[in-house]
Each structure stands twice: as C-alpha cells, then as structure tokens.
Amino acid sequence: MQGKFQKGVQYNMKIIIRGDIRTGKSTLFNRLQGGPFKEEYVTTPQIEVANIQWKYNQANDIIKVEIWDVVDKGINPTPINRRPNLSDGTGLKIDNKQGPVTPTSPTRLTTELSPDQIALDAATINVYRNTHGVILMFDITKSWTFDYAIKELKVIPENMSILLLGNFGDLSSQRSITRSQIYQSIADCNRLRVTEYPPANMIRYVETSMLTGFGLEYIYKYLGIPFLQLQKDILRQQLELKTKELVTLLDTLDDSEHISASARKQHSITNDIRDPKLEVEQEQDRLELEKSALKDLWDKESRAISQQESGESGEKYH
C-alpha cells in the first residue's frame, strides 16, 4: 500500500511550441529532450511530437509531458508510406549562410506538392486541442517574428497558460524590439485575458538563448503552472464525481432499506449533503405548515365574527 502511494499519480500534459519560422522552436524542442545546441539549421517539415518525463518539485507524481514542435505550413514532398522518421533529424536542409528565411518562404516550397502529400501542420489540425500550455517564441533581433507572436497571442484560447520567449538573447546587441515595447504589448494582451481563469492564464515573458542555455531553467520551472492548473482541474472533476456518487449511494440506501422519511432526514442532516428528495419533502412540510397556520387564522377570525354576531343578536333579542 505504502509503495503504491510512493509511486504517485500519473499525469499527461501537452505543451506546444509555436512561433514564426527560424525562431528556435526545434532547438528548444531538442534542448528539452536533453539534446545539445546545433548550429546547423534544418527547417522542420511537419509537426513533431516528443515525450519527456518531468518532475514537479520533489513530488512522486509521474508527469509525462508531450511536447509539440508546431509547424504552421508543412512541407511533405514524400508520400505518407515513404516518410522518413522525422525525429532522427532527416529533413529539408537550408544552409545558415543563405540568410534569413522570411515567414513567406515555405509557400515557395509547398507549391510543388500534390494534394495527397499533405503534411501535419497547424493548418490541418487544431494544435490547441487538449493543450495545457503554450510556449510562444520570437527572435528579439527580427521584429516581424514579434509581430507574429503578438498576432498569435490574440487567438490562443484564454484558459491556456502562455510563456512568451524572446529568444536569441545572446544577440541582444542586435535587438530590434525594446523590452518596453514587449512589456507594453503583453500588458495589452493580458488585459483581454482577465476573465475567469487568472492568474494561470496570464502571459509570462522571459528572454532566452538556446545557444547558451540561458532561460532553460526558467522554462523547466514554468511547466509547473500548466501542471498545477491541470491538477486543479482533475481534482475539481473528481470532487464533482465523488459528490454525485455519494448522493446516488445515499439514495440507493434510503430506497432499498425502507428507511422512514424522518430517518432519511436524519441521514441527510448528518451527512450534510443536499438531498433533492429531502428538499422536496421539506418544501411540502413548509407548505403544510403555512396552510395549517392560515387555517388557524381563518378559524380564529370566523370564531371572532360569529361571537361578535351572537353578541350583537343577543343585544337585539334580550
């Protein structure tokens, strides 16, 4: 029994990494799996998924984190049955020295595809489905990647936790977006997200460098936010379920054992649970009491009237 408790509960959490092209998504994806920084740039042809084990504080719970490296517009020139294993690093290679790839570049590559060669991408599936946290990346040296992030921030479901990463922090001397611009935009977006979910859904911002590893620890810690939110949701559902189970069981016991109404009442009071059957009975009791009180009043009134009448008639006839 003790061993079972020590093993803890298993949780499945889904985290997606999004961002404009060449912002460091796959580098983070690899880093989170314990891989080293790779200078070579290989654009990701379609969504990739990996599972990592993650620990919340020193708890014994087993937390399986499913990480998605999201591609907006996929590139899949290979038919489905002959696709390479994408996690082994094979894919379309673009040399670093070719210069920056603009956000519109992938369309140039996809025009050669036939309809049966559709890749897994954010255009074909809803990546936010069952997602617990979003890591949204931009490159602090490329303003258009920040514009992309701000646009995306406005469409991410408001219950989701978001971590915005200003990547390429090692190139901060070349930055094209100031910190105050970033904080201002986040404040504007957060204002729109103040609904029923705060504080877990508020946008958090941190600057990182996948090259130096700066900020990776923060990302690791950040996973605690979607995790605690997930745990809270599960506990809330369990609580609702157990309350329903309890009411059903009490009902079954009351019905099957021919328990009197007063005993049922007693049961409900001692269990401090709202029993719908008892509530109806209580309402009927209350109506009965009201009715008899009214009846008493009418009886008194009619007695007084008849006394008055007999008095008056006595006066008349005596």
Ligand X SMILES: Nc1nc2c(ncn2[C@@H]2O[C@H](COP(=O)(O)OP(=O)(O)OP(=O)(O)O)[C@@H](O)[C@H]2O)c(=O)[nH]1
Closer Cβ to ligand X, 7 or 38, answer by number = 38
SS3 per-residue string spanning 179-230: HHHHHHHHHHHHHHCCCCCCCCCCEEEEECECCCCECHHHHHHHCHHHHHHH
Greatest alpha-carbon span in the chain: 128
Residue 229 interacts with ligand X (CB under 6 A)?
A: no
Question: Footprint of Mg ion on this chain (CB under 5 A)?
Answer: 25-26, 44
* CA distance linking residue 64 with residue 31, whole number of Å: 16
The torsion angles phi and psi of 87, rounded to 5 degrees, stand at -75, -10
In the complex with ligand X, the residue whose CB is nearer, 139 or 275, is 139
- Using the rule CB under 6 A, is 145 a contact of ligand X? no
Of 14, 15, 16, 27, the residue at the interface with ligand X (CB under 6 A) is: 27
Residue closest to 103 by CA, chosen among 143, 136, 131, 68: 143
Regarding 215 and contact with ligand X (CB under 6 A), the answer is no
The verdict on 31 binding ligand X (CB under 6 A) reads no
Which of Mg ion, ligand X, none interacts with 167 (beta carbon under 5 to 8 A by kind)? Answer: ligand X
Among 13, 15, 26, 165, binds ligand X (CB under 6 A): 26
Question: In this complex, which beta carbon is closest to ligand X, that of residue 66 or of residue 251?
Answer: 66
Dist CA 55 CA 220 (whole Å): 9
41 lines the binding site for ligand X (CB under 6 A): yes
How far from 305 is each of 214, 230, 292, CA to CA, in Å?
94, 71, 20
Contacting positions for ligand X (CB under 6 A):
19, 21-27, 38-39, 41, 43-44, 96, 167-168, 170-171, 209-211
